[in-house]
Structure 1
Amino acid sequence: MPVTALLAQLQQWQQQAARLHIRLPVIWQGKEDALLSHTTALLSKVGYDKLYWLGAGAPADAVNLTGKQNYQLLGSECDVLVINAFSGFNVDLVAASAGCVKAGGIWLLLCPPFAKWQQQANPAHKNLLPYPVDAAEHQGHFVAFWLQQLTQQNAVVIEGGQISRQLSWPAAAPLTFVAAPYISAEQQTAVESILHVVSGHRRRPLVITADRGRGKSAALGIAASQLASSGKQIIITAPSPQAAQTALQHFQQLTDAAQHQLLQFVPFDQLLCSNNSVDLLLVDEAAAIPTPVLQQLLARFSRIVFATTEHGYEGTGRGFQLRFQQHLTTQCPGWKKLQLQQPVRYQAADPLEQLIFAGFLLQQPVDEPTYTGNAAQNVGHYKAADWLSTPLKLQQVFHLLSQAHYQTQVKDLAALLDNPMQQVITLEQHDQVLACALISIEGALSPELATAVYHGERRVQGHLLAQSLAFHLAEPQLASLALWRVMRISVHPALQRQQLGNQLLRYIKQAAQQAGVAYLGTSFGATAGLLQFWQQAGYTPVRLGSSSDKASAEYSILMLQAVTAPVEICQRLQQSFSAALYSNLPLLYPQLSAELAIALATPPQLPALSTAELEQLKLFSEGKRPFALVSHLLLSWFNLHYQRLPAELSQLLCALLWQGRSWPQLLQQSGLNSKQSCIDAIATQLAANGL
């Protein structure tokens, strides 16, 4: 077919897509120079107001997207999106940008012939590959997997100048009429539900979930505008200011400039440290906010709406639902949930949305696995090259990882297929994945490189465990050993509390022994529950990061387990760590919970208190000595007995004596209203515990 005729056909199809309120996905294979020339000609024919472009060769009027723009893309729109895959195929950016294409728009992928493309390196995935893998040379498997998924999807495929696959056109969407400013009846219902949160009973939050393009963020802005008209004060928070822009824009379009201050964006970390009092808190893209932060917001505000995308690069909405909604049920039994299903940017049968969902495994399964406690279980061991022949198993694993961790993204799927030093070990039954662990193969660094890391002269991508051992723990020789790091472990939410996680960790240790691995390690945001889980599995804490996560206030902890190496090294590292932590608690760990400080730190060994010293403490417990006179004795006594005291008392004394918390901080922790009442409470509990 002559190129002119081909371009005319695409222009006609674009017009038909506009009539049907869908986007037109086109995959064009060929030589780069020719395809860029054809694209220039096509753009001159179809016309556009806004053009987004990924990769090289962008025209001057295009918005050239980079990997740093994911959140900026939320809510933005374009008429044409061109992806030049000759420059690499950045899966995060491809997934993120697809939602920007408007109905009647064109999504155009330019790529080499499929057979050639899947055999090429993908430089866009450089950050997913560990040292010493060279992104310019390494042939991963993600492109082959994506093309495998593409064969089952509805898209226009062009090879050179010939159309090899045409679009199967969906039926026209039924016409619906709703009054402005609403775009759909579902959106109108969402706004009414948001308004009811303000007018109804306190402590009855609303959760709005939806795939992208359903109008949930706009609903927040519309509802806020109606509340502002009656003088209500509203705050909106989100993972970033850009993520709240759609809601803010709709609010400002519907209100006078004088009312714009009635809806303010406040970052959630600032929100938790403030004394803001508002009529309603809106939380947009809640799935991308750590669950501990959402729990704190829930405790802090009595009227709150959580809106979240079901899946995608914004965060994993499914994991949000399974974890946070359980907390909601416990704390706020009257909470409500609303799911928006009707797309507003395009119709429900949009072929591009279906292509993106399927190609990046964003559709979550409805069925839960069945588990029989006394039936046989299988252990699976998968590497990057295995997934092409087991795509259904990959789907199960990726969905399970998404449910377990709020930060699972499309790039994690790409890493499973492209990173040769990642592997997955699964626990399976009846051909279903019950639990899985994502493992990074690390270490085996040359002594010269390990020494350079130790001296702070080199950093090596993809070797977090080896690098921490060499640099932070000053053990460069350990970085030259074979190491495995458990990056994530996930048990299906319906099957938790049945020891499947511990069982899986035992299998991982057995596999590590067979592979001659010296140490297993793991690193995660420390909480008391997670620390206990890993300790029960035989892991030892050896390092705590010196800065807390701004979102969750959690410090990253590194834990280690000897496999074929001497266990004494782990013990020595743990003893050194816990002793140093005790000394550094006030200086380096102001946000660490007292519960974790007690679990991790070890005070210096001191002789028992004398009879006279104990007598002074006894008098304090009876109210006959001031605290200032016995505080040093109380510290010595606590250091000797902290492990056997009730949790309430030990955590209060830890915060006061080990961590150096101020009296206002202690009052907030204890719920008491004065310094003296706090001292009296300590004295009373000391008397009840043997003094």
Structure 2
Amino acid sequence: MANNSTDSLPTVDENFALNQQLADQLAQILAYWHQQRQRHQRASLVLMGSKAWQTTLLEASKAQFADWPSELLWLDSKANRQHLRHQLGQTRSAQQAGLVVDMAEGLDIEAITLAEGLLPGGGICCWLLPEETAGLPAPSEHPLAKLLSFPWHAQDMTPHYALWARERILNADQHLVLLETDSMNHQDADSHINRNITHTRPPSTQPPSAELTALSAEQSQLLQLLYQHFRDQVTQQPASPTLLVAARGRGKSTLIGHLLNRLLADVDTPYQIALCSARPEQHQQAWLCLNPKHQDTVTRWAPDALLAQQPTLDWLIIDEAAHLPWPQLQKLIRHYPHCLLSSTSAGYEGSGQAWQQHLRPWLDQHFSDWREFTLTQALRWHAEDPLEALVRELSGQVDHQLSEQGGETAGLTPLPLHHLSWQCVTPQDLSASQRAQVFALLTESHYQTRPRDWQLLCSAPNYQLALIWHNSQLVGALWAIMEGPLPDWGPERRLQGHLVTQKLRQHHQTPALYSGRYARCTRIAIAKPYRQQCLGKQLVSYWQSHPHNIDIDSFTVSFGASPALWRFWSACGFHTLHLGVQADAASGRCNLIMMTPPQAQSLRQAYDQIQNWFQAQWLALSDEFQPLSHDLISVTEQQAWQVIWQQHPDWQVRPWQRTPPHQRQQALREYVLGYRPYEAVSGALIDWFEQQSEEKWHWPEAELLRWKQQGQSWAQCRQAWSASSGQAHIGRKGLEALLKARLQAILDFY
């Protein structure tokens, strides 16, 4: 990663010698930094001016201040988020910790959010702002450029987010703001700087290392509650999970370590306890808090290894549980119901809002006695830390309390339509406060809304919003991406974005779809007080009929398959065209694609072909992969799906004989060439195998095809093939290569 420390700063310009004005600014930096260290808060230093002047101040601070951070981690558009935990670990002291955010290089808000959460009290974050807005990042350097759909490029991003973030950084409370013009014009900067610094709180006596060495009063109280709860739970049947939830920097991992010490010291025969997390460093703090003798007792596991080996445990501790895929987390809880799940409550990491939205209802359904405990006091830094408040705002995590603003009776009486106002706009048409309301509602309602979505909502060029307002209060929001047309560069070329058309092209080889213009709904939400009044359907209808979308050929949507969502979109005129067979890591559900029938004749022919093929392929998908019937879907939901399959035309099985032979042969040829995946042709392949003469039983691959005909998984086929052929190391690709070779030989013959 470029620019990792102050060692890589440019050389100080000789024209910026330490004159009296710069010396005064260094004195202000030192006084402010020491003040924040006394409070056990992070210092937030804003330097607005030229890069040479900013470099001079940072280099001079490093040279003049003996306890200045030994390295400053630069968070620019090239920052590697995967390395941040290693470069700024939780156990690093405040004397070592510092961040630099250079707005001229672009803001990666997710990298900033992660790094800020690891920066301890007493550390420093330096915000480098260009003096003029023209100095904001060049389009080619925008950190979100790779997330834009084709053909949009970085230069198409609007500056709305960068300008808004710049204004918020300059006007944040308790930040030290220094301007280059103050030093160059020989002005006394004290009045400008001190208006953003408050001196009302007395200095804290809490040492910076308190999180690592001692428990707070809140932690101690919660330790006693958890300890008693765990002791009661050991013999309780049926067992039930326990949740420990808090914002970052509240000492969850430290509390876990002390809890384990208490439990293990209190019995003659130690409990069998395992620590588990998505990555080892995520439970490292809990491990370091263990007594050395207890480190020999507590085992550390990766979640996949734990599920594979399934050792006997009295307790399973999962730290940062939101980072585990939702299906994997469910399996761990089912197998180890005596478990403690600890995670942040922000909902922007790992599986996102799945932790907030899916876990609790699921626990209510399966474990009536589960308990939840919460830590609220900040320990890694002191309460009311200015940097925490600023980064929460920059990442869109402002609480708008949308679910309560409608009043207690808002959901009981239908809102008169003439009291509502409707909009179909780009996000840039809204004010910053209106965009914040939209993002708050979508975050509350969707499990995978991230800080970078807030950046994209402010600045991406191809987004559209359909909104319902009641006076100034947001009632409902639909977020859409405008897509197409696309160039047809062949079946092997994958372009950025355009999920629906490219997925359908991959499975059905229908390049005609690329000529269309589409509007894809990515999120839709109605505020809680206004639900159950058909406003969602009315919002979709308004969106589809709005004059802005008169040139749209078809409206599309993709979501984690559930009966309720399918019924909603079906009632809005959408039809099923694709069902994935792999469960999404966050939702635990397979991806379902629906689409409205296009009007253009060329597009309608492709649409009809895809729908007919899906109905013919559906029986094979449901038999072999069971994408809507796996063990993580409730019995009630499976029963609801059964009713849908039996009654709705979208899911009626279409005999393969009704699909023209040339289409089936072409699909199998495209599978052989690697243009279609197995899941798109498995039904046609089995039908083809059934039509072959009895000579097929002499093929070496005949048993493999028979196993697939019986609905066996690839893992089962791999085991059976290894046992019968002695080829122990052949995997799915090898087995598919055998099928493709046989297919090619037969198809070439004809």
Q: TM-score range, shorter-chain basis?
A: 0.7 to 0.9
* Pair 326,173 (structure 1): closer, same or farther in 2 beyond 3 Å: farther
The amino acid that maps onto 2:342 is A
* Pair 435,315 (structure 1): closer, same or farther in 2 beyond 3 Å: farther
Partner of residue 614 from structure 2, selected from 572, 577, 597: 577
Q: CA deviation at 1:83?
A: 1.8
Whole-angstrom CA distance in 1 between matches of 2:334 and 2:532: 26
Q: CA deviation at 1:313?
A: 3.8
Q: CA deviation at 1:232?
A: 1.5
Conserved? CA contact 1:310–1:316, under 8 Å: no
Partner of residue 34 from structure 1, selected from 28, 35, 53: 53
* Pair 319,365 (structure 1): closer, same or farther in 2 beyond 3 Å: farther
Determine if the alignment matches structure 1 residue 220 to structure 2 residue 256.
Answer: yes
Conserved? CA contact 2:150–2:496, under 8 Å: yes
The aligned counterpart of 1:473 is 508
Determine if the alignment matches structure 1 residue 250 to structure 2 residue 289.
Answer: yes
The aligned counterpart of 2:416 is 375
Q: CA deviation at 1:476?
A: 1.7
Whole-angstrom CA distance in 1 between matches of 2:280 and 2:274: 12
Whole-angstrom CA distance in 1 between matches of 2:485 and 2:579: 24
Q: CA deviation at 1:410?
A: 0.7
Conserved? CA contact 1:219–1:247, under 8 Å: yes
Q: CA deviation at 1:22?
A: 1.0
Partner of residue 154 from structure 2, selected from 110, 135, 138: 135
* Pair 54,262 (structure 1): closer, same or farther in 2 beyond 3 Å: same
* Pair 432,281 (structure 1): closer, same or farther in 2 beyond 3 Å: farther
Q: CA deviation at 1:95?
A: 1.7
The aligned counterpart of 1:506 is 541
The aligned counterpart of 1:198 is 230
Q: CA deviation at 1:23?
A: 1.0
Matches within 5 A, 1:413-562: 413-445=454-486, 450-452=487-489, 454-457=490-493, 459-493=494-528, 495-511=530-546, 514-545=549-580, 547-549=582-584, 553-562=588-597
Partner of residue 129 from structure 2, selected from 103, 106, 111: 111
What secondary structure does 2:579 align onto? strand
Q: Which moved more, 1:336-345 or 1:470-479?
A: 470-479
The amino acid that maps onto 2:58 is T
* Pair 272,574 (structure 1): closer, same or farther in 2 beyond 3 Å: farther
Whole-angstrom CA distance in 2 between matches of 1:179 and 1:312: 23
The amino acid that maps onto 2:245 is T
The aligned counterpart of 2:97 is 79
Determine if the alignment matches structure 1 residue 234 to structure 2 residue 254.
Answer: no
Q: CA deviation at 1:125?
A: 2.0
Partner of residue 449 from structure 2, selected from 408, 417, 421: 408
Q: CA deviation at 1:605?
A: 7.1
Q: CA deviation at 1:318?
A: 6.4
Q: CA deviation at 1:306?
A: 2.4
Conserved? CA contact 1:293–1:552, under 8 Å: no
The aligned counterpart of 1:156 is 176
Q: CA deviation at 1:514?
A: 3.9
Conserved? CA contact 1:315–1:408, under 8 Å: no
What secondary structure does 1:221 align onto? helix
Conserved? CA contact 1:287–1:320, under 8 Å: yes
What secondary structure does 2:243 align onto? strand
Q: CA deviation at 1:660?
A: 4.3
Partner of residue 339 from structure 1, selected from 371, 374, 389: 374
Conserved? CA contact 2:278–2:324, under 8 Å: yes
Whole-angstrom CA distance in 2 between matches of 1:71 and 1:558: 37
* Pair 585,261 (structure 1): closer, same or farther in 2 beyond 3 Å: farther
The amino acid that maps onto 1:165 is I
The amino acid that maps onto 2:198 is S
Conserved? CA contact 2:48–2:130, under 8 Å: yes
Q: CA deviation at 1:586?
A: 6.0
Whole-angstrom CA distance in 1 between matches of 2:396 and 2:21: 36
Conserved? CA contact 1:96–1:313, under 8 Å: no
The aligned counterpart of 1:623 is none
The amino acid that maps onto 2:653 is T
Q: CA deviation at 1:433?
A: 2.1
Q: CA deviation at 1:440?
A: 0.8
Conserved? CA contact 2:43–2:123, under 8 Å: yes
The amino acid that maps onto 1:214 is R
Determine if the alignment matches structure 1 residue 183 to structure 2 residue 215.
Answer: yes
* Pair 68,498 (structure 1): closer, same or farther in 2 beyond 3 Å: farther
Conserved? CA contact 2:353–2:448, under 8 Å: no
Whole-angstrom CA distance in 1 between matches of 2:550 and 2:600: 13
Q: Which moved more, 1:494-503 or 1:171-180?
A: 171-180
* Pair 70,80 (structure 1): closer, same or farther in 2 beyond 3 Å: closer
What secondary structure does 1:381 align onto? strand
* Pair 227,382 (structure 1): closer, same or farther in 2 beyond 3 Å: farther
The aligned counterpart of 2:9 is none
Partner of residue 653 from structure 2, selected from 599, 602, 605: 602
Partner of residue 392 from structure 1, selected from 430, 433, 438: 433
Q: CA deviation at 1:226?
A: 2.8
Conserved? CA contact 1:50–1:79, under 8 Å: yes
The amino acid that maps onto 2:129 is C
Conserved? CA contact 1:284–1:307, under 8 Å: yes
- For residues 594-636 of structure 1, what are the alpha-carbon distances to aligned partners after superposition, in whole Å with 9 as ceiling and x for unaligned? 64699457263799xxxxxxxxxxxxxxxxxxxxxxxxxxx99
- Aligned sequence identity (%): 23
Q: Which moved more, 1:544-553 or 1:597-606?
A: 597-606
Whole-angstrom CA distance in 2 between matches of 1:409 and 1:56: 19
The amino acid that maps onto 1:66 is N
Conserved? CA contact 2:98–2:125, under 8 Å: yes
The amino acid that maps onto 1:374 is L
* Pair 489,235 (structure 1): closer, same or farther in 2 beyond 3 Å: farther
The amino acid that maps onto 1:171 is R
Partner of residue 259 from structure 1, selected from 295, 307, 312: 295
Determine if the alignment matches structure 1 residue 91 to structure 2 residue 132.
Answer: no
* Pair 464,80 (structure 1): closer, same or farther in 2 beyond 3 Å: same
The amino acid that maps onto 2:462 is M
The aligned counterpart of 1:308 is 343
Whole-angstrom CA distance in 2 between matches of 1:76 and 1:490: 40
The CA RMSD measured in Å over matched residues stands at 3.7
* Pair 192,174 (structure 1): closer, same or farther in 2 beyond 3 Å: same
What secondary structure does 1:306 align onto? strand
Matches within 5 A, 1:11-90: 11-46=30-65, 47-48=67-68, 50-55=70-75, 65-69=79-83, 75=90, 77=92, 78-90=96-108
What secondary structure does 1:593 align onto? coil
* Pair 487,31 (structure 1): closer, same or farther in 2 beyond 3 Å: same
* Pair 180,398 (structure 1): closer, same or farther in 2 beyond 3 Å: closer
Whole-angstrom CA distance in 2 between matches of 1:483 and 1:330: 39
Matches within 5 A, 1:641-660: 659-660=711-712
* Pair 496,304 (structure 1): closer, same or farther in 2 beyond 3 Å: farther
Q: CA deviation at 1:657?
A: 8.9
Conserved? CA contact 1:119–1:139, under 8 Å: no
Partner of residue 7 from structure 1, selected from 18, 26, 47: 26
Runs of 5+ consecutive residues of structure 2 not aligned to the other structure:
1-19, 183-188, 631-637, 646-650, 659-685, 688-706, 717-750
Q: Which moved more, 1:511-520 or 1:399-408?
A: 511-520
Whole-angstrom CA distance in 2 between matches of 1:568 and 1:369: 47
Conserved? CA contact 2:277–2:320, under 8 Å: yes
Q: Which moved more, 1:189-198 or 1:113-122?
A: 113-122
The amino acid that maps onto 1:466 is T
What secondary structure does 1:97 align onto? helix
Whole-angstrom CA distance in 2 between matches of 1:83 and 1:22: 18
* Pair 402,217 (structure 1): closer, same or farther in 2 beyond 3 Å: farther
Number of aligned residue pairs: 601
